[in-house]
Structure 1
Amino acid sequence: MTSKLPSYEPFALSAEQLREMTVRYAVNPLYLDNEEWLNEDNPFRRQLRPQVLPHLDFSTTLSRPEILDYSGLAAQRLLTSIYEADLMFLPKSGFAEKRADFAAFYSSSNRQLGELIRPALEQHVFGFLDEEVAVTGAWTKDSFRAFTERFETREPAGPLPAARAIRESTDPVRAAQMWLVQFAPDFLSEASPMIRNVLGYYGAVQSDWFKIIIDEYGYGVHDTKHSQLFERTLESVGLRSDAHHYWQFYLNSSLMMNNYFHFLGKNHENFFRYLGALYYTETTLVDFCESAIEVLTEVFGDTVDVRYFSEHVHIDVHHGRMALEKLIWPIIEQCGEGVIADIVRGFEEFQVLNEIADADFAAQIGWMDGGPANKALHEPVWAAISSGKVSAPVAHLVEPRGELSNTHLHDGDELCHIVSGTMRFVSGLNSYQILEAGQGTVIHRNRLHGAVIESEECVYEIHSVGDYRACLS
């Protein structure tokens, strides 16, 4: 007589278990706060601010209005580290001094803890797409063909919102550098998420998809590998090209864009969604790259190396057609019309993420440019608080010289008020305001920032005002 087997139950962590395992993962010494703004040629170091994680609830699904809140940024930073433990990174030099970090990053403990919390983090930041994108109706080959024809004959979208933000910035060089930094998580390990889909066994499509990857890797010639071309772009405008050098300046939405493809590629049940997202990005990349060449040349002149973008202009018309004709249509033939809805869903989802990222970047440039204005806003907002007209929760802090608040953001507007000492308040790459006693700044909701203390001691207050405009009425 055989014993009765238990009923199958999908694995899931409780909210408390998830919080415990997330903190346990993030207190790895690799992930502790940095004492400098930049990581020096060490791709294993990523600042996850583990001291904040016990206060966050990753067991919920963020809504569209919440997706840029702090828990979204925290989750995207965690996911980037978890996904990239599947990839191979090495520093450009000095490996012997970083070997312990190498071993810790690729250790079984780090990977196992990451895999335990990954599904919940993915649901937390990408679950909103279930509500945001609805693909309805019975899709057929004919309706899908009409869908792709409408897309490919669409009117040009016009200048990119990011390009407009750069051109209109008070400091276009700084804005353009900040823009290029946002692509580093993707472009420096380009096509790595895609490779997740060419492993296994599924016929001729697998070989055709590999041809796109071979293109991305320069047909085995390192000097023409796309990531190498992007390194030259960075270096030509005075930026470093070592992986995650600018970790603290990645926006939430920039990590989200890169992580989305890892999310689809890591979870093979999303295979068909990946095909749709791939078709969208390969087809629109030509317009994007042409716009990038134009704005980068305007800002930097002939010194900027734009070959990364010009190379994509030449090949991505081909890649877009190949994604449709050599990957998507054969998969529909092989798997049936039932997969079309998922392909369309991936296409639509990546459009949504693009829109979020464009708006987020433009808002961050506006925030960086608005440093002096936000500093000036301190006076009327502080007057409303100090007079008792406005009451807001307050945190009192005392920090020594050199104390670095690693970059983060807040879910509502806040007022930073300096009681004594000096603070360098940083709102983005090469963007800061010096705050002395009696001064301060308004910190806008969802805007990336940090600070460093430049006096022997600094006493300051953070007032959570919610919406600073209520203090001005």
Structure 2
Amino acid sequence: MPLDLADLLPELDPSDPNSTVKAFAANSAFRAAEWEELTTEENPYRRPVRPDDLDWLDYGKPMPAAKSLKLSALLGHRMLRNVYDTGLLYLPPVPGPAAVDDGAAFYGARNRVLGALAGPILERHLFTLLDGEYKPLDSADPEVLRREIRDYHESRVAQPGRALAVAGATKDRKASATFLLLQLSAFLPAARAAVGRAALGEYDEAHPGARVQLLDQYRNWADAQGRYRTLLEAAGLRPGAAAYWQLYLGTSLGRGNLLHHLSGDREKYPEFLGALLHQQIDEAADGARFAAVLEDGLGLRTDLFDALDPLSADRLDARLDSLLTPLTALHGPEAVHRFHRGFSDARWFAALWDTDLADQLAWADSIELHREKAERISRHIDDSGIEVDLDTFVESHEETSTTHVHNEHRLVMVERGQMHFWNNVTHKIAFGEGDKVLIPVSRLHGSTVLSGECTYHQPIIPEEMYRQF
């Protein structure tokens, strides 16, 4: 049935951008997860968002950088990826009624219209912070830009990111390698899809060779699908968009979303090429390291990263010239600053991702330690008579908490009943009466109730007390 746009008007309040975001998130394909939907390998459209949380999150204004690892960022990037992906073709590997229903909701006219309206609101909320983080070049001289990019390339080759170092030092290497692979699956395919989107058009006379470069990168990804699938299988995973949606960090989604944002806005072509060059440098610097961590944890040495045509140091200057020189002819000296802006924004997101992933891996690998800390903090609160804010939940059998992060440090304390707590596909953690765990701010997790009913409490731990323990 054709969509009557007037049907949307009662839901949308022009003075409240949140009404548009809420209307988009109300799509049935984005509903909160149920117990059997912890993973969705056979349904590329099922993408839980936790829409109930939108009642108290504000997407009507830009998000400060201090909240870039908190809940509005995670849910915002989930929703924004859904906006971008409605313009791409995804097919379920196995036909089924759930995929049919969710696919109709995902690709329906209503969702596409609401996505077109919600997208700019989410982009403003999630990306405006980059204005304050950006450090402009001192000069529009291309050589100044070249030196900064060379220096960055050398530093990335010389030192691994913190996340890879943490992954290689964890006790449970398989769990860490699996979680790392999940994060790669959240942004590597998205980055290539953004490249494919950017390649469309007719611009060869103005920018010779650029379209072929972009198409080659997309084709390399398509040609490498066998290697990608083999790598996933080594971890017991399957390919497919959103297959492990609930375990994608907000920063993993954000890295792909930035490239989608820049490639979809045709006025940001120079910024997109700068961000793309960063992506190529980052992959080249870390490809062998990723492969080593994955081999250590999964027992398979992959050549996936070699197949993606990594950008070596001796090709860096030529690649930069091929992208930048035609841009300066089109836009003058401004092109240097715009290219640098895209490069810098992608660099900022990559650094945030490295911090987020490193902290997540370290926490997930030390759950027993955080159970002990929870006991000590709980005793300290009781013995000292300290009053802290407290949320209490009473949930029924199979009630599931879609994965999320908290904006503050919390304890989880089970008073009665049993539940599964989870932060990876590799295992679930059983909690029963009296069990406790400390969940630091911004750590991704979810839960499912196993008993007929479960009562649990979440004391909010002040920063000073958290640091004390």
Identify the residue that residue 233 of structure 2 maps to in structure 1. 235
State whether residues 409 and 446 of structure 1, in contact with CA within 8 Å, keep that contact through their aligned partners in structure 2: yes
Distance in 1 (alpha carbons) for counterparts of 2:152 and 2:389: 50
The alignment partner of 1:191 has SS state of: helix
Distance in 1 (alpha carbons) for counterparts of 2:42 and 2:382: 46
Structure 1 residue 319: Cα displacement: 7.4
Q: 1:132-181 CA deviation, whole Å, 9 max, x = no partner? A: 01214441234334444545565833233222111111101110110010
State whether residues 285 and 313 of structure 1, in contact with CA within 8 Å, keep that contact through their aligned partners in structure 2: no
State whether residues 394 and 461 of structure 1, in contact with CA within 8 Å, keep that contact through their aligned partners in structure 2: yes
Segments of 5+ residues of structure 1 without an aligned counterpart are 1-12
Identify the residue that residue 331 of structure 1 maps to in structure 2. 327
Identify the residue that residue 447 of structure 1 maps to in structure 2. 443
The one-letter code matched in structure 2 to 1:47 is P
Identify the residue that residue 410 of structure 2 maps to in structure 1. 414
The one-letter code matched in structure 2 to 1:341 is H
The one-letter code matched in structure 1 to 2:106 is F
Structure 1 residue 299: Cα displacement: 2.9
State whether residues 294 and 301 of structure 2, in contact with CA within 8 Å, keep that contact through their aligned partners in structure 1: no
The one-letter code matched in structure 1 to 2:339 is I
| Residues 85, 18 of structure 1: alpha-carbon distance in 2 compared, 3 angstrom cutoff | same
Distance in 2 (alpha carbons) for counterparts of 1:210 and 1:418: 57
| Residues 196, 132 of structure 1: alpha-carbon distance in 2 compared, 3 angstrom cutoff | same
| Residues 278, 460 of structure 1: alpha-carbon distance in 2 compared, 3 angstrom cutoff | same
The one-letter code matched in structure 2 to 1:366 is A
The alignment partner of 2:423 has SS state of: strand
Identify the residue that residue 463 of structure 1 maps to in structure 2. 459
Identify the residue that residue 204 of structure 1 maps to in structure 2. 205
Structure 1 residue 16: Cα displacement: 5.6
Verify: 1:119 aligned to 2:108, yes or no. no
Identify the residue that residue 307 of structure 1 maps to in structure 2. 303
Segments of 5+ residues of structure 2 without an aligned counterpart are 1-11
The one-letter code matched in structure 2 to 1:419 is E
Identify the residue that residue 156 of structure 1 maps to in structure 2. 157
Verify: 1:103 aligned to 2:104, yes or no. yes
Structure 1 residue 470: Cα displacement: 5.2
Q: 1:188-229 CA deviation, whole Å, 9 max, x = no partner? A: 35521123323334333656233233333447xx9x623443
Identify the residue that residue 273 of structure 2 maps to in structure 1. 275
Distance in 2 (alpha carbons) for counterparts of 1:322 and 1:192: 24
Identify the residue that residue 22 of structure 1 maps to in structure 2. 21
Verify: 1:57 aligned to 2:55, yes or no. no
State whether residues 290 and 313 of structure 1, in contact with CA within 8 Å, keep that contact through their aligned partners in structure 2: no
Structure 1 residue 269: Cα displacement: 2.5
Distance in 1 (alpha carbons) for counterparts of 2:248 and 2:73: 13
TM-score, scaled relative to structure 1: 0.89
Distance in 2 (alpha carbons) for counterparts of 1:284 and 1:49: 32
TM-score, scaled relative to structure 2: 0.90
The one-letter code matched in structure 1 to 2:72 is S
Verify: 1:33 aligned to 2:32, yes or no. yes
State whether residues 196 and 218 of structure 2, in contact with CA within 8 Å, keep that contact through their aligned partners in structure 1: no
Verify: 1:167 aligned to 2:165, yes or no. no
The alignment partner of 2:441 has SS state of: coil
State whether residues 178 and 426 of structure 2, in contact with CA within 8 Å, keep that contact through their aligned partners in structure 1: no
Distance in 2 (alpha carbons) for counterparts of 1:213 and 1:155: 23
Distance in 1 (alpha carbons) for counterparts of 2:210 and 2:301: 29
Verify: 1:366 aligned to 2:381, yes or no. no
Identity of aligned residues (%): 26
Structure 1 residue 335: Cα displacement: 2.3
Distance in 1 (alpha carbons) for counterparts of 2:154 and 2:165: 24
Q: 1:251-301 CA deviation, whole Å, 9 max, x = no partner? A: 111111111101111222322111111122213322211212222223333
| Residues 430, 113 of structure 1: alpha-carbon distance in 2 compared, 3 angstrom cutoff | same
State whether residues 207 and 326 of structure 2, in contact with CA within 8 Å, keep that contact through their aligned partners in structure 1: no
The alignment partner of 1:51 has SS state of: helix
| Residues 244, 228 of structure 1: alpha-carbon distance in 2 compared, 3 angstrom cutoff | farther
State whether residues 62 and 124 of structure 2, in contact with CA within 8 Å, keep that contact through their aligned partners in structure 1: yes
